[in-house]
Amino acid sequence: MKILRKISETKRITSALILKKKTIGFVPTMGYLHEGHLSLVKAARKKADVVIVSIFVNPLQFAPNEDFTKYPRNFKKDEKLCRNEGVDYIFYPDIKEMYPDDYSTYVIVENVSLGLEGKIRPEHFRGVATIVLKLFNIVQCSFAVFGQKDAQQACVIKKMAEDLNVNTKIIISPTIREKDGLAMSSRNVYLNPEQREDAAYLYKALEYARRKLTLENYNRDIEFIRGQISKLIKSRKTATKIDYISFNNSRTLEEVKTLKNLKNTDILISLAVRFGKVRLIDNIVIKR
């Protein structure tokens, strides 16, 4: 496994691989890797001749009041985990390499970026789309794997790839969870023991909704389901604020306002909840 810190060297290597007709599979991350990230690497490893993981905490997707400087980092551990998974290259640039002082180009994906996370974090997806397109151009991958954990991000990237005729296939991989259901996230290290215990209720609440909508075939008031999810989460002392509990078309992210006549519409139920200063997101998709 080789660590690449420069764009020029990385492009040289990936161009040579393409000439040799190698399939490059790519997993973009912000590091502090866990089993969720590694599941994406495994999915890439199955299909690719060469697997590249990027580790870059992208300042552009953090608002000034967010946790960019505090975001957890442990490159040595990440390196070991990647080596164990058979990764071929880690692309690990520094900030100036990606955003030199005169940097001035950004990618904005309209509509799907606006609701949910986009409402609370208005600049976030501009940062995400910009870095992802830059990374695609550098690693020149045939496909890239993203996690369903960040459902809106997956929609934004897919739309960007479609609209800008990007030569990379986008693959979405399922959310990996802890034993108690909490979706794995680099940010889970911020949780104190009590918050950690309460955080498992996010998935319990989503599973409640799944049961109601599938097993019980509930098709009446969506506000009732939202209310029940909210009640369950609010019953936990450390859940200090619910940013949203949302029902959306899983592809277009249009809001689903009624459960009637929803044939062929998969519903994304997503939520964002703060446990003190720690903000967690999670989602499930109800297939119809």
Q: Known catalytic residues?
A: 37
Name the residue nearer to ligand AMP (CB basis): 37 or 212.
37
Name the residue nearer to ligand AMP (CB basis): 183 or 213.
183
> Which positions from 147 through 176 interact with ligand AMP, judged by CB under 6 A?
147, 149-150, 173, 175-176
Can you tell me whether residue 235 is helix, strand or coil? coil
Name the residue nearer to ligand AMP (CB basis): 11 or 34.
34
Instruction: Tell me, letter by letter, the H, E, C secondary structure of the chain.
Output: CEEECCHHHHHHHHHHHHHCCCCEEEEEECCCCCHHHHHHHHHHHHHCCEEEEEECCCHHHCCCCCCCCCCCCCHHHHHHHHHHCCCCEEECCCHHHHCCCCCCCCCCCCCCCCCHHHHHCCCHHHHHHHHHHHHHHHHCCCEEEEEHHHHHHHHHHHHHHHHCCCCCEEEEECCCECCCCCECCHHHHHCCHHHHHHHCHHHHHHHHHHHHHCCCCCCCCHHHHHHHHHHHHHCCCCEEEEEEEEEEECCCCCECCCCCCCCCCCEEEEEEEEECCEEEEEEEEECC
Name the residue nearer to ligand AMP (CB basis): 25 or 36.
36
Count the alpha carbons within 13 Å of 51 in the hemisphere toward its beta carbon.
21
Tell me: does residue 40 bind ligand AMP (CB under 6 A). Answer: yes
Q: How far is the CB of 59 from ligand AMP (least distance, A)?
A: 13
Tell me: does residue 136 bind ligand AMP (CB under 6 A). Answer: no
* Selection from 126, 96, 107 nearest residue 7 by Cα: 96
Q: How far is the CB of 209 from ligand AMP (least distance, A)?
A: 19
Name the residue nearer to ligand AMP (CB basis): 92 or 259.
92
Q: How far is the CB of 44 from ligand AMP (least distance, A)?
A: 11
Name the residue nearer to ligand AMP (CB basis): 14 or 29.
29
Q: How many residues bind ligand AMP (CB under 6 A)?
A: 17
Tell me: does residue 37 bind ligand AMP (CB under 6 A). Answer: yes
Q: How far is the CB of 172 from ligand AMP (least distance, A)?
A: 8
Q: Tell me which amino acid residue 216 is.
A: E
Applying CB under 6 A, which of residues 29, 168, 195, 283 lies at the interface with ligand AMP?
A: 29
What string marks each residue from 176 to 205 as x (binds ligand AMP by CB under 6 A) or -? x------xxxx-------------------
Tell me: does residue 39 bind ligand AMP (CB under 6 A). Answer: yes
Listed ranges 35-43, 211-219, 235-243, 268-276: which one lies at the site for ligand AMP (CB under 6 A): 35-43
Residue 166 per-residue DSSP state? -
Applying CB under 6 A, which of residues 125, 146, 201, 275 lies at the interface with ligand AMP?
A: 146
Tell me: does residue 30 bind ligand AMP (CB under 6 A). Answer: yes
Can you tell me whether residue 2 is helix, strand or coil? strand
Following CA atoms 274, 276, 280, 286 in sequence, which dihedral angle do they give, to the nearest 10 degrees? -40
Q: How far is the CB of 166 from ligand AMP (least distance, A)?
A: 16
Binding site for ligand AMP (CB under 6 A): 29-30, 36-37, 39-40, 146-147, 149-150, 173, 175-176, 183-186
